[in-house]
Amino acid sequence: MGDKPTIAISHLGCEKNRIDTEHMLGLLVEAGYSVDTNEELAEYVIVNTCSFIEAAREESVRTLVELAEAEKKIVITGCMAQHFQEQLLEELPEAVAVVGTGDYHKIVDVIQKVEQGHRVKFVSEQPTYIADETTPRYRTTTEGVAYLRVAEGCDYRCAFCIIPHLRGNQRSRSIESVVTEAQQLASQGVKEIILISQITTNYGTDIYGKPKLAELLRALGKVDVPWIRMHYAYPTGLTPDVIAVIKQNNNVLPYLDLPLQHSHPEILRAMNRPWQGRVNDAIIERIKDELPEAVLRTTFIVGFPGESDEHFEHLLQFVKRHEFDHVGVFTFSPEEGTPAYNLPNQISQEIMDERRNAVMELQQPISLKKNQQEIGKVVDVLIEQEHPETGELAGRSGRFAPEVDGQVFVKGNARLGAIVPVTIQNADAYDLYGQIANS
C-alpha cells in the first residue's frame, strides 16, 4: 500500500457534488489509497468543481490556479470538467485528468492511468450514471447528518439553467435502493437524512411512469432515523398524497424547500418554468392550510432579462404576503449555452444587486418574527459543533437545514451528533439561542 500516491480532494459547489466527492473518497480508500485533507501533503489533488453560475466558476478557477502554482498534479472532476473539458486541458498543463459528472465512479482507473504517464479524459457526453447503496462512500458531513440522493439529472429546461446539460436527464433510484441506503446511514448513527435531487417532487417519474415521492416517504417513514428532510420540492408536486405522508410520519420533517425563482407569470413564462407561471397564491395557501406547521424556504432570481420595476414589485408583494420562513436571493447569471444567455433587455449588475438587497431587507423582519415565535418553546436540536474555547454548543432544530439556514446556539452539555430538547430563550433574524431543557 505504501507505494500508492497520497490524494486530497477539494470539494466545491452543492450537496449533489458533495455526494460525488464522498463516493470518490470511498472508492479511493477501498482501493488502498491514502486520502489526506491537507493538500500540501498530497501528490494529487482532485478538484470537484462547480459550474452553475459565474461566481462558482470563478471560485473553481481560483482553486485550480492556486494548486497549479503549488505544482500539484490536478484531477478536475465535476460540473466544470463536464462543461469545459478541452479548455481546461489546454489552459492547465498541471491538469493530468478531467472527469465528467457521469464518470466520477472511474476515479481509481483514472489515477492508475495517470500513474502510468497518461493524460486522461473521461467525460460522457450524456451522463447516465447514478451511484447506489452498493457504491463505497466516505461521508464528509458532521456525524449526525447525511445527504441521500434519490435521483440525478433533470428533465426540465428552464431558460437560465445549465444543469441538464451538465448532469443529464433525470434518472431515479428505486425505492428499495434508497431505503437500503437510508438503513445503512441510520445504522451508522445518522440522525438526519436529507433527500436531494434536482427536483425531488418528480422522483420516480422516469422509472415508475409517475412521481412516487409519497411512496418513497412512506417507506422511509419506517426507517429508524429521527429526521428526514426534503430539498428541492416543486410546489406543484406537493400533492395531497405527499402532504398526507408528511403529516402521518413523525420522522418526515414538515420542512418544504420550494425553489420558486419568481412570482410574476410573465417572468416565469420567460424562464420556461415547468408550470409556466401557475405558481399562484392558491398553491402556497393550500400547502399552508394542509400543513400549518410547515417551515417554508424558497429561492428567487432577481434581474432575469426583461424584469421590469412592475415585475419586481410583484415579487416584493409576494414575499410580503406569504411570509416565508427562509428566503435566498440570487442575481441572474447569464450562462452560455442556455436560452436566457442571449435574451434582450439584460439588466445591469447594479440594479440586480439593488433588487436582491431590497428582497433581503424586506425578508429580515419576517425571518426575525418567525424565529421569535420559537421563544419559550422546547424544541429538538441536533448538536453539531462545540466551540473549542467556550464549550458553547451549536446545532439545528427542524426549522433549519445545514449551511443555508440559521443555527441554534445552546448552553448546557450534550454529545455531538445527539438530538436534545432545548428551551429557546432568544432569537435574531437568523439564529436561535437556548438552554438544554432540565440542565
Q: Under DSSP, is residue 428 helix (H, G, I), strand (E, B) or coil?
A: coil
Q: How far apart are CA 35 and CA 42, in angstroms?
A: 8
- Which of 225, 147, 232 has the alpha carbon at shortest distance from 191? 225
321 is in an annotated binding site: no
342 is in an annotated binding site: no
151 is in an annotated binding site: no
Task: State how far Cα 180 lies from the chain centre.
Answer: 22
Q: Please enumerate in sequence order all residues whose Cβ is within 8 A of that of 106, keeping only pairs 6 or more positions apart, or say none.
A: 99, 122
229 is in an annotated binding site: no
161 is in an annotated binding site: yes
Provide the edge-to-edge strand list for the sheet that holds 34-35.
34-35, 6-11, 44-49, 73-78, 95-99, 120-122
Q: Taking the chain, what is the end-to-end CA distance rounded to the nearest angstrom?
A: 49
Radius of gyration, CA atoms only, the chain: 22
Q: Please enumerate in sequence order all residues whose Cβ is within 8 A of that of 86, keeping only pairs 6 or more positions apart, or say none.
A: none
61 is in an annotated binding site: no
Residue type at position 133: E
Q: What's the grid cell of residue 157?
A: 429546461
Beta carbons of 51 and 12 less than 8 angstroms apart: no
Q: What's the grid cell of residue 125?
A: 457526453
Pure H helices in 175-305: 175-187, 205-208, 213-220, 240-248, 265-270, 281-290
Beta carbons of 72 and 41 less than 8 angstroms apart: no
* Structural element, H or E, at residue 114: helix 107-115
- Which of 215, 320, 328, 239 has the alpha carbon at shortest distance from 287? 239
Q: Please enumerate in sequence order all residues whose Cβ is within 8 A of that of 149, keeping only pairs 6 or more positions apart, or say none.
A: 16, 19, 130, 131, 173, 196, 197
Map 396-416 to HEC letters: ECCCCCCCCCCCEEEECCCCC
- Cross-strand partners of 196: 149
Q: Please enumerate in sequence order all residues whose Cβ is within 8 A of that of 39, keeping only pairs 6 or more positions apart, or say none.
A: 8, 10, 45, 67, 70, 72
Binding site for [4Fe-4S] cluster, residues?
14, 50, 79, 154, 158, 161
Binding site, residues?
14, 50, 79, 154, 158, 161
